[in-house]
Every structure is written in C-alpha cells, then in structure tokens.
Amino acid sequence: MIKLTRQTSMQSEALFSIGTVSEQTGVHSVTLRAWERRYGLLQPSRTPKGHRLYSQQDIHRVKQVLRLLEQGIPVSRAQELLRKQAVELKPELSESIKLVAGEDPWRQYANLCRRYIYKLDAKALEKVIDEAIASYSLEIVAHKLFLPLCTDLYGQCCLLTSTKADHAFWYQFLSAKLGAYYLNTHLQSRNNGFRVIVIGVTCQMVYLQTLMLACTLGMQGFQVSLLGADCHPEHLPLVLERSRFDAVIYCNPSQEVLAGLEVLSRITTTNLLVQYLNPAQHAELPAAIQLLPMAFNEAAVQLEAALLAGSESNFQIRDTHNG
C-alpha cells in the first residue's frame, strides 16, 4: 500500500498526478511546481518516491488562482487574496466546520444551504457549495448533499405548496452550477479521451443526476456530449453514423427507452449503458445493455476500464446489484 506524507480524508478522496492536474486546469506542470515552491499556493501529497499527488481541493485552488489571474491580479498576491476570501466567508461556515469533529458535517452543510435557499441568496449559497466541493470532491457532495436536499425540498413543497419557491430556486441554482462545471470540464477534457453521449429524462432529479455524471466523466478525461431528455434511441443512428462515439449512457431510462436501446444495439457497435438513481429497483436489462453503478467515480473507472479492454466481446461492466 502506498503511504502518503499527507493523510487523505476519511472519504478516500481521489488523488491526481501532476500531469492529470495540468490537463484538467491547463496550467503547465512547471508552473504548478513554481506555485508550490515559490508562493506556497499548493501543498500536494507525496508518494515514497517523491511524486506529487493532488487532491480535488488542490485542483479547486488552481482554478481559483486562474480566476484571479484573469482579473489582472499577479500570482504573487494570490495567496493573500485567497486567504482573505476564506476569512470573509460567512462566520457560520467556519463555525460549522469546527463542529464537524464528532458530528455529521452534511447536516451542517444542509442547514446552511436551507438558510440561504429560504432567503434566495445565491451568492451565499454558492460559497457554501464551493467550500464543500473543495473539501470533499464533487461526487461526495452530490451524494451526501445535493440529492438528499433535492428530495427533502421536493417532499416539503408537495406537503406545503407555499414552499414551492424554495425547491424551484434550489433546482435552478444547482442546474446552473452543475452546468457550469460540465462546460468547464468539457473544455479541459483530453483530446484523445473516450467520446461518450449522456442522456437523461425530464424528471428534475434525473436531470441533475445526468449533469453530475457528465461532470464526473469530464473530470476523468472523457469527452462528454450531453443531450436533452427528448432524445430517444431512434434519434441516435444518424449521430453515431456521422461521428464515432465509444459509448451512449441513459440515466434512469423507461421501459420504452430500454426497448429502443435493444433495437439500437443491433445496428451499432457503440457500447450502450444505463445508470439508475436506485440500482436495486432497475428493470431487467436486455443482454446488450450494461449497467453502471450509481457512484459516479466508480462508474467512470469501470467505464474506462471496459472501453480500454478493446472489443465489444470482452466489454464487461460489473453489475453491482447482482454481484
């Protein structure tokens, strides 16, 4: 087992090589080293052989520095300004982190989010979300905060229609936030990355799931094309004929869509996959359709491993529900 000089979080946060960080951010590896040594902007972990490993929080820091540079602020002032911004965060945010020691941090984050959702305060809400993602990574925040809060607010507005504005604000905010992440990761994806089409359905929860999956795949180097909910399997043959794609993924497909995918599998060699919000309740899948796990990072890892295997004959993605 590789031991690092800096402990990772209890959530087993993914670590990235300097080359991967350079690809994701567009910052040359030489520059990343300079930001670490000369300005103290980054504190990567190290393997026993001295190789740098960066967390999602480090990548977030690099992007913060880039935003400052775009504003004409020199890198020599970045550390000071970022520290000042951290201090200027809402006092309750810093307090909530201190309370996490023996408590559930997600309850703290959820309470903060609700406070700003009730006020329709997008600016304060974004600070909470950015801090959570920087500390835990997008996937963990998605499963622990985004989806549960969506469910709670939706249930609340169903019982009390006067609170519908709360759910509407949160959904629109989160859609815009994840949409921006998707565009950012799409621009930074590897030119030689696997090409994947991701499609959801009209349900709001599934739309957010689709965005989260697209963001995660983009961060892992996939070239992701996100299609709208009204794009059905019968609309894809022309697209797949005009341009090569390695996989098509439907999120929470209906039985009608599954039937369409089975027909599509007979006329294309493109890998066809599905992902469900609740894998335990998914319908029986046609033999040609593969199931991805709900965990976004795990789905990305399994998808890449399967596509690297080469041919459709040995394309095997482990069905986590059936073992």
Look at residue 310 in the predicted model and tell me its pLDDT: 56
Look at residue 2 in the predicted model and tell me its pLDDT: 35
Q: Where are the domains of the chain?
A: 16-69, 89-181, 189-314
| Strand-pair category, 247-251 with 195-199 | parallel
What is the rounded distance in angstroms from the CA atom of residue 291 to the CA atom of residue 249?
9
- DSSP bridge partners of 75: none
Per DSSP (E only), the strands in the chain are 16-17, 45-46, 52-54, 195-199, 223-227, 247-251, 271-275, 289-292
Side-chain-side CA neighbours of 189 within 13 Å: the count stands at 25
Look at residue 97 in the predicted model and tell me its pLDDT: 43
Extract the residue ranges of the chain whose pLDDT is less than 50.
1-12, 92, 94-101, 311-316, 318-323
Look at residue 185 in the predicted model and tell me its pLDDT: 76
Instruction: Domain 189-314: give its CATH superfamily.
Output: Response regulator (3.40.50.2300)
What is the rounded distance in angstroms from the CA atom of residue 120 to the CA atom of residue 173?
10
* Strand arrangement, sheet containing 271-275: 223-227, 195-199, 247-251, 271-275, 289-292
Structure pTM?
0.66
Q: What angle do CA 93, 154, 169 make, to 5 degrees?
A: 55
Residues 6+ apart with CB under 8 A from 103: none
DSSP letter, residue 77: G
Sign, Cα dihedral of 60, 61, 66, 70: positive
Look at residue 281 in the predicted model and tell me its pLDDT: 65
Give 223-250 pLDDT, tens digit per residue.
999 998 789 999 999 999 999 999 999 9
Look at residue 103 in the predicted model and tell me its pLDDT: 65
Look at residue 131 in the predicted model and tell me its pLDDT: 79
* SS3 (DSSP) at 295: coil
Look at residue 101 in the predicted model and tell me its pLDDT: 45
- Could you identify the residue written with the tokens 């959702």? 117
What is the rounded distance in angstroms from the CA atom of residue 79 to the CA atom of residue 175?
31
Structure tokens at 159: 């019982």
- If you count DSSP H runs as helices and E runs as strands, how many of each does the chain have, helices first? 14, 8
Phi, psi at 273, each rounded to 5°: -135, 160
Look at residue 86 in the predicted model and tell me its pLDDT: 62
| Strand-pair category, 16-17 with 52-54 | antiparallel
Give 11-54 pLDDT, tens digit per residue.
445 788 888 888 777 777 778 888 888 888 898 998 888 889 99
* SS3 (DSSP) at 273: strand
Residue 129 · residue 141 · CB < 8 Å: yes
CATH number of the domain at 16-69, please?
Answer: 1.10.1660.10
* SS3 (DSSP) at 177: helix
In degrees to the nearest 10, what's the CA dihedral of 303, 202, 180, 57?
A: -50
Residue 20 · residue 51 · CB < 8 Å: no
DSSP letter, residue 311: S
- DSSP bridge partners of 38: none
